[in-house]
């Protein structure tokens, strides 16, 4: 009986305190020396994504190509790829909102860009809209996509999971609200309502699709694994990437930390599925 009681106490201690213990002893203390975050700069993007993307493309020796971004908004606002069009790339902004799509056409009048009003969905969604593959077949058939940026505030990971196209680089939002130590997928119904999946889950989805992460802001940059060799020196596990972002933007963009702390304190589902603390 005493042995059983002792085991129960040990189990209870582990359940209550082990996540915090693991967190405290596994957290990186600074930005990794090989992180791509110092290459960041912003013209239109929110947190320097253009600079990171520019560096990735330089490493891949891609001087021109074709990009796709959705939600494309007005073709300028917080865009990760607008600067590529301004450098002569061809591409497509996909936006579901009619008025924003009209603005995008006006803002891109002098660029080699298609502004497409469509709602991007995934096969199992049972909602109006088209998959990216269907949109591609209609508007830019036979066109290889070099860069794909996905930002639809929640179900981004579901689009990635069902993606059949093979872009060289994928940028996808999600993962900042959850602890990077979470490896288990949270229910999709919760995740697609703006909080998305934990970073480890997103990285695992991408791995199964043949992609490896190279950087994280509040967006993850993935490179197709057959092109990954130039990035082999990067420490690219999700925990390192998450904390690289946390430390790098601590002073540059303190609103990130404020947002994360606020949503973690107020969102019941995060509290339910995430036992970890953040610094």
**DSSP codes joined into one string, 162-205:** H--S--SEEEEE--SSS-TT--SPPPHHHIIIII---HHHHHHH
Rounded mean pLDDT for each run of 10 residues along the chain, 279 residues in total: 38 39 64 97 96 98 97 93 98 96 96 96 85 97 97 93 97 96 96 93 98 98 98 97 97 95 95 92
The 10 Å Cβ neighbour count of residue 13 is 11
Please give the CATH number for the structural domain made up of 30-273: 3.40.50.150
What pLDDT sits at residue 17? 40
What pLDDT sits at residue 246? 97
DSSP conformation class of 278: -
What's the predicted TM-score (pTM) here? 0.90
What pLDDT sits at residue 279? 84
The 10 Å Cβ neighbour count of residue 127 is 9
Q: Which residues pair with 94 in a beta bridge?
A: 70, 116
Nearest residue to 116 (alpha-carbon basis) of 142, 146, 138: 138
Indicate the domain borders of the chain. Answer: 30-273
């Amino acid at each position: 009986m005493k042995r059983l009681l002792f085991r129960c106490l040990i189990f209870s201690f582990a359940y209550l305190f082990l996540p915090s213990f693991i967190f405290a002893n596994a957290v990186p203390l600074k930005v990794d020396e090989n992180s791509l975050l110092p290459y960041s700069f912003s013209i239109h993007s929110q947190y320097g994504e253009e600079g990171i993307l520019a560096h990735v493309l330089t490493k891949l020796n891609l001087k021109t190509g074709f990009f796709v971004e959705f939600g494309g908004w007005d073709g300028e606002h917080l865009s990760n790829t607008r600067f590529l069009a301004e450098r002569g790339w061809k591409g497509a902004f996909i936006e579901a909102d009619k008025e924003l799509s009209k603005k995008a056409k006006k803002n891109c009048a002098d660029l080699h860009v298609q502004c497409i009003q469509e709602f991007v969905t995934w096969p199992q969604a049972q909602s109006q809209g088209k998959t990216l593959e269907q949109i591609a077949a209609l508007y830019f058939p036979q066109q290889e996509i070099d860069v794909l940026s996905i930002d639809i505030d929640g179900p981004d990971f579901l689009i990635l999971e069902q993606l059949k196209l093979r872009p060289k680089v994928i940028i996808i939002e999600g993962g900042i609200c959850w602890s990077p130590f979470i490896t288990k997928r949270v229910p999709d119904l919760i995740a697609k309502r703006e909080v998305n999946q934990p970073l480890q889950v997103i990285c695992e989805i991408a791995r199964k699709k043949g992609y490896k992460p190279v950087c994280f802001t509040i967006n993850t940059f993935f490179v197709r694994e057959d092109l990954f060799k130039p990035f082999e020196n990067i420490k690219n596990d999700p925990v390192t990437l998450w904390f690289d972002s946390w430390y790098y933007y601590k002073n540059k963009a303190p609103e990130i930390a404020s947002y994360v702390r606020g949503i973690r304190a107020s969102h019941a589902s995060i509290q339910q599925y995430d036992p970890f603390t953040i610094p």
